[in-house]
């Protein structure tokens, strides 16, 4: 265990976890859980060779009982997730705004654990559905654990947690037939949306590219709620938290996401796992939007409304630090499944606001962990333990691990000198921010929460033409799966209040009536920060398939690969078989991928170099690979036989297609620039 007087640093959590690790792959003697060495582990004890199994076989009973109880209830939402360890490094002190110690000293690195997740699907569902993504981070600070329980959207479906069971029930598989899995493309969800128009803004995000992220490493995170920073003088500011991926925010295309769900349902988790193992760590800068309390009512929306964002052009995001995820988990169950996040886990200097959705979440997280993890001691599970000491008079319960010595388990007491004792605020004790509250007990919401369409229109105005088309396609697919025609009409009418052109386009796809133009929102403002077209675009860590057959141009291909790797692009050699592929100069490259094991949806770009000994089947497979990459707007490079195959496919030489008409270095540079651009939306699909 960690020593109580030891200073917390970036390695503190790893050192703490080391106590609990077991290297089972080492040469160990097989024993029962009680330490009894075993001579047999594959045959149960029976009365004779063909007789019944005997109850006295204690090892069989122990082994089978443990197996029968291996599973715990999966999360109701966010069941499908994957995690990694890392560290957080502060760029500048936030002392003027908060007394939280981990936000004071740029020289201190704080250990963190982050879990990414989908929301709707079960634990065994795919990584790439159209869905919100969770982005939850546990900071193991010297003052206790701070959990930033974020999503990859800055807003939510509802304004009050009273509706949370309803939206989840509606979007989950329909109870009469348990379909569809991990999808909102069905009647009950869209029926709920049509009856709850506060969801309009969130649904716009859900139909956008943001709902199908390319990678956890290329996904923004948002704390959603307005929190408070409180400094040493007791002065408070409203704050919203942002994670900005260093690689930029990028997405899949819908057809690609659907195919990946079948070809590699672990696509996003595999990407994170492999990237960290290769040293391509996931990096995110932490940003904060800070508002003075006097500015609470200066906007045309309520800053405590979780269906609204604070436009970055009005409240700039201040970048204050960076998180680096640099170590994979050792055991998915022990860490990823047993980690317990809670929006109520805060430290001195961070406090809550009256956001009604936030307030209800403060109850729900503890409640769900009690069921999932078997009792009140889930904080003692290694992944959840703070790295600072903890002492209180809480005792007993399921899975208690602490052995508390002494006769006293209450306050106030004289027998133990009133230990453990409270700590005043000046010495680090948490003190709730004092806010004057007056009012009647009432079940009603402020009129400042009533505008449901202005920010939905702001989002629409901020999209590029390609992004707008993707939103129309998203609606057309999802609502097109609805069987009850009146619900389709209600959805089109509802989003006619956002934008008439949007509604008309959806109506045409669904064969329903177009709502009148005069009901659309009058908002003309845009927020460029909301468009992924304005995100950083880098070639680093992008996966490129290099397709070669025997007889490929060895000098050229090896030079291009060298240039790609210098630019930190991941290169995968793909052919019709695994193993060595021989070049025209008798050198070889080893193929670790084939047309059977991988397809273009697994890569960000493709370089088809060909080979003089490629047969007709190889040509056919290479052309199919090229066509699919082209249809998904990905960068393509072709040379030698690859150029001929490209011409035979009669694909237009639009942007993002690099044909080798120059020296390998220039060819490589053009291709690397195309890889960085990510997609080429102006390309015609043939």
| Alpha helices by DSSP H, 481-586 | 485-496, 500-510, 554-566
User: Residue 268: CB partners within 8 Å, gap ≥ 6?
Assistant: 82, 116, 127, 128, 213, 215, 216
Q: Choose, from 145, 151, 196, 660, the residue flagged as catalytic.
A: 151
User: Residue 113: CB partners within 8 Å, gap ≥ 6?
Assistant: 13, 83, 84, 85, 86, 137, 138, 140, 335, 339, 383
318, β-bridge pairs = 288
Query: Assign residue 192 a region: left if phi > 0, alpha if psi is -120 to 50, beta otherwise?
Result: alpha
What phi, psi does 563 have (nearest 5°)?
A: -65, -40
What phi, psi does 474 have (nearest 5°)?
A: -60, -50
Other CB atoms within 10 A of residue 524 CB: 8
- Using DSSP's 3-state secondary structure scheme, residue 197 falls into helix
Q: Choose, from 59, 78, 186, 201, the residue flagged as catalytic.
A: 78
**Burial profile 579-598: b = 16 or more Cβ within 10 angstroms, e = fewer:** eebbbbeeeebebebebeeb
DSSP notation for 626-674: HHHHHHTT--EEE-THHHHHHHHHT----TTEEE--S-HHHHHHHHHHH
Query: Is residue 78 flagged as an active site residue?
Result: yes
Other CB atoms within 10 A of residue 54 CB: 11
Q: Name the DSSP letter for residue 177.
A: T
Helix axes 616-631, 641-649, angle to 10 degrees: 60
Q: Name the DSSP letter for residue 518.
A: G
351, β-bridge pairs = 228
Query: Is residue 500 flagged as an active site residue?
Result: no
How many Å apart are CA 455 and CA 9, to the nearest integer? 41
Please say whether the beta carbons of 111 and 14 come within 8 A. yes
DSSP notation for 302-360: -TT-TT----TTTSPPEEEEEEEEEEE-S-IIIIIIT----TT---TTEE----HHHHH
What phi, psi does 82 have (nearest 5°)?
A: -150, 150
Please say whether the beta carbons of 547 and 607 come within 8 A. yes
What phi, psi does 502 have (nearest 5°)?
A: -60, -50
Which are the catalytic amino acids? 78, 151
């Amino acid at each position: 265990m960690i020593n109580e007087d030891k200073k917390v640093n970036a390695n503190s959590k790893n050192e703490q976890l080391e106590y609990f690790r077991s290297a089972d792959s080492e040469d160990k003697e097989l024993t029962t859980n009680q330490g009894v060495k075993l001579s047999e582990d594959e045959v149960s004890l029976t009365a004779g060779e063909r007789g019944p199994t005997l109850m006295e076989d204690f090892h069989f009973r122990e082994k089978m009982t443990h197996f029968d109880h291996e599973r715990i209830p999966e999360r109701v939402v966010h069941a499908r997730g994957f995690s990694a360890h890392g560290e957080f490094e502060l760029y500048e002190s936030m002392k003027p705004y908060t007394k939280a110690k981990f936000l004071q000293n740029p020289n201190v690195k704080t250990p963190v654990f982050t879990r990414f997740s989908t929301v709707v699907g079960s634990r065994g569902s795919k990584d790439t559905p159209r869905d919100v993504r969770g982005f939850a981070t546990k900071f193991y600070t010297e003052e206790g654990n701070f959990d930033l329980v974020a999503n990859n959207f800055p807003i939510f479906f509802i304004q009050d947690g009273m509706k949370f069971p309803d939206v989840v029930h509606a979007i989950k598989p329909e109870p009469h037939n348990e379909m569809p899995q991990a999808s909102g493309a069905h009647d009950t969800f869209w029926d709920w949306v049509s009856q709850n128009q506060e969801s309009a803004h969130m649904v716009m995000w859900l139909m956008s590219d943001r709902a199908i992220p390319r990678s956890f490493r290329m996904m923004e995170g948002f704390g959603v709620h307005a929190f408070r920073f409180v400094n040493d003088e007791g002065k408070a500011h409203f704050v919203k938290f942002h994670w900005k991926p260093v690689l930029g925010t990028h997405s899949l295309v819908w057809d690609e996401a659907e195919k990946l769900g079948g070809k590699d349902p672990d696509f996003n988790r595999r990407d994170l796992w492999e990237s960290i193992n290769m040293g391509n760590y996931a990096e995110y800068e932490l940003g904060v939007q800070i508002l003075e309390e006097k500015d609470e009512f200066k906007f045309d929306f309520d800053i405590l409304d979780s269906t609204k964002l604070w436009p970055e052009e009005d409240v700039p995001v201040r970048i204050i630090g960076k998180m680096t995820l640099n170590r994979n988990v050792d055991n998915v169950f022990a860490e990823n499944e047993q980690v317990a996040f809670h929006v109520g886990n805060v430290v001195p200097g961070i406090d809550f606001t009256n956001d009604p959705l936030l307030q209800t979440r403060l109850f729900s997280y503890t409640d769900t962990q009690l069921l999932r993890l078997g009792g009140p001691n889930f904080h003692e599970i290694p992944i959840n333990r703070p790295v600072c000491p903890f002492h209180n008079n809480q005792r007993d319960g399921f899975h208690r691990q602490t052995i508390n010595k002494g006769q006293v388990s209450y306050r106030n007491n004289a027998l133990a000198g009133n230990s453990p004792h409270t700590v005043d605020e000046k010495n680090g004790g948490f003190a709730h921010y004092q806010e004057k509250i007056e009012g009647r007990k009432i079940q009603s919401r402020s009129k400042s929460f009533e505008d449901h369409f202005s920010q939905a229109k702001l989002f629409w105005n901020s999209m590029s033409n390609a992004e707008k088309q993707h939103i129309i396609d998203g609606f057309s697919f999802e609502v097109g799966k609805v069987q009850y025609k009146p619900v389709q009409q209600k959805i089109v009418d509802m989003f006619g209040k956002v934008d008439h052109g949007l509604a008309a386009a959806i109506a045409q796809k669904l064969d329903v009536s177009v709502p009148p133009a005069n009901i659309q929102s009058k908002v003309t403002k845009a927020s460029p920060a909301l468009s992924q077209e304005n995100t950083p675009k880098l070639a680093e860590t992008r996966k490129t398939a290099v397709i070669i057959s025997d007889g490929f141009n060895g000098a050229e291909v090896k030079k291009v690969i060298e240039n790609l790797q210098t630019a930190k692009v991941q290169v995968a050699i793909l052919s019709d078989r695994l193993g060595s592929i021989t070049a025209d100069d008798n050198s070889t490259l080893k193929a670790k991928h084939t047309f059977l094991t991988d397809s273009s949806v697994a890569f960000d770009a493709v370089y088809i170099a060909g080979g003089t000994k490629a047969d007709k089947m190889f040509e056919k497979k290479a052309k199919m690979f090229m066509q699919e990459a082209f249809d998904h707007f990905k960068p393509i490079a072709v040379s030698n036989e690859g150029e001929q195959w490209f011409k035979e496919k009669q694909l237009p030489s639009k942007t993002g297609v690099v044909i080798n008409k120059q020296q390998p270095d220039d060819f490589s540079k053009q291709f690397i620039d195309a890889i960085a651009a990510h997609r080429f939306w102006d390309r015609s699909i043939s």
